[in-house]
Chain A
């Protein structure tokens, strides 16, 4: 049983409402004993309601596996990177430190690294992952590339990320707005004045190859 190649996972942070349905649903999986493998991050609640769900990005060359001294982390042929194997994992935490997305965690009671495995028990039998099924704003979406193109014409998926000198390609894609992204900082007072303030800052986007559209304001933005 493998996850079909044409079914992909997309994360659209602009759609996240911070409700934690994904986090709560993730704890329902029998395999992780009441823990959520999703982190829901508030960017900065003091100045925005923007939140971002963080799932495992399932890297083509997973850093977590590369740094694992016990060879406990495996990527299956369908591109899914799994939690550490219990007999091998020494709970050293190398993966936790190395993962550029901050995904893996050590669970001391089990002496084990566990992370999002794209609900392998569901996706390998043709179902959607639990989080993407319940997400009420579909910030987490699971389906085909054709579906996402039809449903999200204002965004485009990207799966290449630059961290210093390291370029990472992932099985999971992030949807990046084609036009001006929503401001990361919002303030009611800006909407109360007759002369609205300009957006104070913008999200930086990494992959200029994917977003080559000349009209795209991000095209020239430095990382």
Chain B
């Protein structure tokens, strides 16, 4: 029974989002300063939390941590206000339509017993696969490892996936196809001193603010900066070449640029010959994309395509980054592959001051995709369909290989299975799909069909409002563990305070469910460190080899770049002092896949060119819906806003979503800055205030996605997905816009953050 228990306004009244105070009044000297990292994005800035009487009361910059050297964005500055919050779930609650807020308190043990009995009932009646599990990439690697193991070993279900499906999977799939390994190639320090930096589809200043300083420091020392985006982002304001790409046309632009480079001979023939395969097919594909055709499709002028080819083609050192802007497409893997083709053709990889990578969006965007909460994956970036990989992991988990389920389905498909009645029970943690998945009215309909749903969370997020039982989980600062940040550096999250009230650390809750189900085998860990020690063994020999990493080594080195071996990959001799691998693909490097035949992670040691085909977006702009709708973040909010919509000063900074549009379009439609406007797609419509700015293409609307209910842009987005990565196409769909007839109903009853 997973329909909302009472009117959503009543749930909001009881459980929020309400706002924290603006700051926490001083209570004198803190008891301690805890060195840890921010709980939000993939930059994972080092920060020190001030603790007084088991409460986080403020922060102090951590200037020694090499990645950010004390720098923080506003989210990092105010993150500590998520603690001691009035909305915090201090105990378990269960659905009760007769309770004022729709939920009543229940004893923790009784809640766990009910969850276990419902799972048992559903699995007896409908099989193990009738239970689905959803995880998230903001969890520590220990938790993601445990969750993957819990689904496969305890619940025996193949149906686990995670919110990284919305985030990094296009880049991950492309990296796997091109390099045989999925990680940013170089530490960010390599960027300073490079000649050219290409930023494709990444609003760096708002989504990964610390990276701005690296890019602009490089620029200060002479680097040219190319920015490809339908909006003039803060980074684009001072760039050397701005490519105002039409949403969904990135592959066409890349093909045009590479075509010019090939024609002019601005490529590294020697590198291509010695270290890659597949160039000729790519060259042939690009020949069909003349600058004129590329320009016509992408909306980028011919002159700019030539300039990009010259800047990129003639440089001696370079960095290329991309992010969700080119990845959130039904063509996302192709777009990512096209950037890799530009990098491989230049030969500028595996060298100092040269790099390529995706800027991950979530805290553990990297680690969270390596150790087994992804539906097709086992720890160590192993493949769940590979018999050797299955055998090894089964041996670590002390189960028979045939008992290990096979691949499941992606997070969206999991909801389609729920909607079809194939999955009847759901456990979720660190995921708010009712806000974050596209076409989210469908997600609501699917949630309503669940027989039983339990969510583990510290606040009652919009999805958890549908739950039968909500188990009180822990904030990042209430537990320890590791995460792997944007550069591939494994870092340590340290516990600052204990969970308040009856809240528990997430891994304890997962193990309690296993115990109560009478399936405790493999779920008797007593600490995150114990989980990490098993993860080290499970990852050993995999591409994402963490076996040489210890908590102590992370502390001594201020992070360890994986792969980090416990045995010499050449000889198998034990190693205790492997420092990790800051830069991948160096010419003389040895990896366990190529075994010395080359720097890339394929048996022949060569990287792969892949034809990166342009395909039109699904539900593209049309006569009926003539504008492009694109979505993204603002700097003061994070993901679905479960945390940041509860932090007062961050809400004040950008209270509610607005529709960004160009004055030329605004004039045509009769919409003025600040007026209510209604945006409509084939899925539905929302009414928000307009923000009229010259910094966006006149054929494009931008709406940030952090809000819920009537303010959620994901009511409008299309559930089209990339055929390989299954990432949703958040960055483009056809829409239309009109002045609103009146202020929306919600403006009267909801606060900005609700």
Contact = CB atoms under 8 A, between A and B. Distances in A.
A123 interface: no
Interface stretch (B133-141, B214-222, B595-603): B214-222
B220 A27 contact: no
B220 A153 contact: yes
B244 A134 contact: no
A46 interface: yes
B74 A188 contact: no
A27 B237 contact: no
A151 B694 contact: no
Interface string A168-205: 00000000000000100111110111101000000000
A151 B74 contact: no
B23 A27 contact: yes
A49 B653 CA distance: 15
Nearest to B23: A34
A189 B691 CA distance: 17
Contacts of A47: 693-695
B480 interface: no
B209 A27 contact: no
B58 interface: yes
A24 B649 contact: yes
Contacts of A21: 71-74, 76-77, 209
A186 B244 contact: no
Contacts of B73: 19, 21, 134, 136
Interface in A114-153: 128, 130, 133-138, 151-153
A196 B663 CA distance: 19
A51 B206 CA distance: 13
A22 B649 CA distance: 13
Contacts, number: 149
B520 interface: no
B238 A46 contact: no
B436 to A, nearest CB: 23
Contact of B694 (A14, A17, A138, A188): A188
Contacts of A23: 74
Interface string A38-65: 0000000111111100000000000000
Interface string B673-701: 10000000000000000011111111000
A136 B220 contact: no
B59 A187 contact: no
B274 interface: no
B22 A189 contact: no
B234 A17 contact: yes
Contacts of B206: 17, 19
B636 interface: yes
Contacts of A130: 61
Given A17-B206, A24-B78, A47-B693, A134 B70 contact: yes
A162 interface: no
A154 B220 contact: yes
Contact of A136 (B58, B213, B636): B213
B26 A14 contact: no
B232 interface: yes
B301 A189 contact: no
Interface of A is mostly: loop
A134 B71 contact: yes
A216 interface: no
Given A28-B23, A135-B71, A188-B696, A17 B209 contact: yes
B662 A151 contact: no
A165 interface: no
Nearest to B28: A30
Interface string B636-680: 100000000000011001000000001110000000010000000
Contacts of B230: 188
Contacts of A79: none
B237 A50 contact: yes
A74 interface: no
Contacts of A93: none
A53 to B, nearest CB: 13
Given A17-B209, A135-B71, A188-B698, A49 B234 contact: yes
Q: How large is the interface on A (under 10, 10 to 19, 20 to 34, 35 or more residues)?
A: 35 or more
A25 interface: yes
Contacts of A134: 61, 70-73, 76-77
B314 interface: no
B490 to A, nearest CB: 23
B383 to A, nearest CB: 38
Contact of A17 (B212, B232, B692): B212
A19 B220 contact: no
Nearest to A12: B216
B233 interface: yes
Contacts of B303: 194, 196
Given A47-B694, A48-B237, A137-B205, A20 B71 contact: no
Contacts of A185: 694
A186 B71 contact: no
Contacts of B238: 14, 182
Most buried by B among A20, A128, A152: A20
A18 B694 contact: no
Contacts of A152: 220
A15 interface: yes
Contacts of B232: 49, 186, 188
Contacts of A28: 23, 58-59, 77
A43 B474 CA distance: 42
B71 A182 contact: no
B621 interface: no
Given A19-B73, A49-B233, A137-B216, A186 B649 contact: no
Contacts of B210: 136
A45 B209 contact: no
Interface in B188-235: 205-206, 209-210, 212-213, 216-217, 219-221, 230-235
3 tightest A-B CB contacts, nearest first: A17-B205, A136-B209, A187-B694
Given A20-B636, A50-B237, A151-B217, 11 more contacts: A17-B212, A19-B636, A23-B74, A28-B58, A46-B663, A134-B77, A136-B72, A154-B220, A182-B238, A188-B694, A191-B243
30 contacts: A15-B216, A16-B234, A17-B212, A19-B205, A19-B635, A20-B74, A20-B636, A21-B71, A24-B78, A24-B649, A25-B72, A27-B649, A28-B77, A47-B693, A47-B694, A128-B70, A134-B70, A134-B72, A136-B68, A137-B205, A137-B212, A185-B694, A186-B695, A188-B230, A188-B231, A188-B694, A188-B698, A189-B664, A192-B697, A194-B302
